[in-house]
Amino acid sequence: MRLSLLLAGLLFWMPAAMAFNFGELGDALGIDPDIIRRIDQGVKIASALIPISDEEERILGRNVAGRVVGRFGIEKNMQQTYYLNLIGQALGQRSDRPNLAYRFAILATDDVNAYSCPGGYIFVTRGALNMVHNEAELAAVLAHEIAHVTERHIINALQHSKLMKVSGEVAADAFKQGGELFQQMSDFATDALFKGLKKTDEYASDSKALEYLDHLGYDYPAMYDVLKELEQRRKQGRAKVLAKTHPSPKSRMRQLKQAESELHLDRPTGIRLKARFVKHIVKNKEA
């Protein structure tokens, strides 16, 4: 009876309950400490799974995108960016979240890297653009970043962070009104981008990328070529930033090979579209 009263009370009292010391309450009511521990854990789990809607994700991602651009600057090369958007949106439409408004841009840095902010704001560095040799390889880079968005890697990390140990109302309000909590969430997401995601997230994005390339009909082995090129650059010490934020290309290739066997992909199409890549990217390079 006392336990059911306690549980009923908690349902109405969830937000405040997150910061409450259940041990003391249990002692006062004479309830088994083990039961109290389980309730405490349950509340913590519930608080970690506050849903973040697509629109809230986009608002957060937009703010993070502003910080990414603020750090590196953006290349306002219309032809190249438009081309990037065509490839990216074609992939996005065939991804697991086809209704997101994916947007792509080029960051003005020679570091080889790419970043995906929640909600579909995706960046490729000028260095990465100069590294790839054809459209399929560029699509592989974009598909990997799209996969981080479709798999909600940053959002998942945020949902399990201490920041989200607040009530659903407080979190929703932060997205609507901005304020300190929203800025802290943006700080968290930006940090995750710059410091790197979990290795497992990177491997998962590689596998998804392979799937998206296959859906659209690009020659998916292009993904391996990008990783080989990265490995070569890593050996030469030319991909230092990427090396900090991603697992080694060798381990990624190993994982990818394993995933490929489980994906039941079609036979490689051989579509690399080098001429189109040269026309839109190489010939539109700004001095």
Partner 1 sequence: MVRILGSLLCCFLLATPAWAVDRYYIGSSDGIDVLQRAQAHAVVLGHIPRLTDVKIIQKKRAWWKVRTVGYTTPEISGWVPSGAVRKRYRATVAEKTSNSFFSGLSSLFHRNTAGGQKTAVLGVRGLDEEGNAAGGKANMVAVEWMEGLGVSNADVAAFVEQGRLNP
Nearest 5°: CA angle at 77, between 285 and 135? 65
DSSP label at 267?
Answer: P
Q: What is the CA radius of gyration of the chain?
A: 22
Is residue 85 part of the contact set for partner 1 (CB under 8 A)? yes
Distance CA 6, CA 58 (A): 38
CB crowding 51-85: b at 16 or more within 10 Å, else e:
ebebebbbbbbbbbbebbbeebeebebeebbebbb
Give the binding range for partner 1 (CB under 8 A) out of 1-9, 18-26, 93-101, 202-210. Answer: 93-101
163 close to 184: Cβ distance less than 8 angstroms: yes
Is residue 175 part of the contact set for partner 1 (CB under 8 A)? yes
Task: Name the one residue in this structure whose structure tokens are 């054809």.
Answer: 134
Distance CA 226, CA 228 (A): 5
The residues near 62 (Cβ < 8 Å, ≥ 6 apart) are 117, 119, 121
Among 215, 225, 229, 268, binds partner 1 (CB under 8 A): 215
Among 74, 157, 163, 259, binds partner 1 (CB under 8 A): 74
Query: At its nearest, how many Å lie between partner 1 and the CB of residue 115?
Result: 13
148 close to 154: Cβ distance less than 8 angstroms: yes
Give the binding range for partner 1 (CB under 8 A) out of 18-26, 79-87, 234-242, 253-261. Answer: 79-87
In terms of CB distance, is 6 or 209 closer to partner 1?
209
Q: Which of residues 21-40 bind partner 1 (CB under 8 A)?
A: none
Query: At its nearest, how many Å lie between partner 1 and the CB of residue 275?
Result: 10
Is residue 121 part of the contact set for partner 1 (CB under 8 A)? yes
String of contacts with partner 1 for each residue 177-196, x by CB under 8 A: xxx--x--------------
Query: At its nearest, how many Å lie between partner 1 and the CB of residue 151?
Result: 20
174 close to 63: Cβ distance less than 8 angstroms: no
Residues at the site binding partner 1, with contacts judged by CB under 8 A: 54-55, 58-59, 62-63, 65-67, 69-71, 73-74, 76, 78, 81-82, 85-87, 89-90, 93-94, 99-101, 103-105, 121, 135, 175-179, 182, 215-218, 271, 273, 276
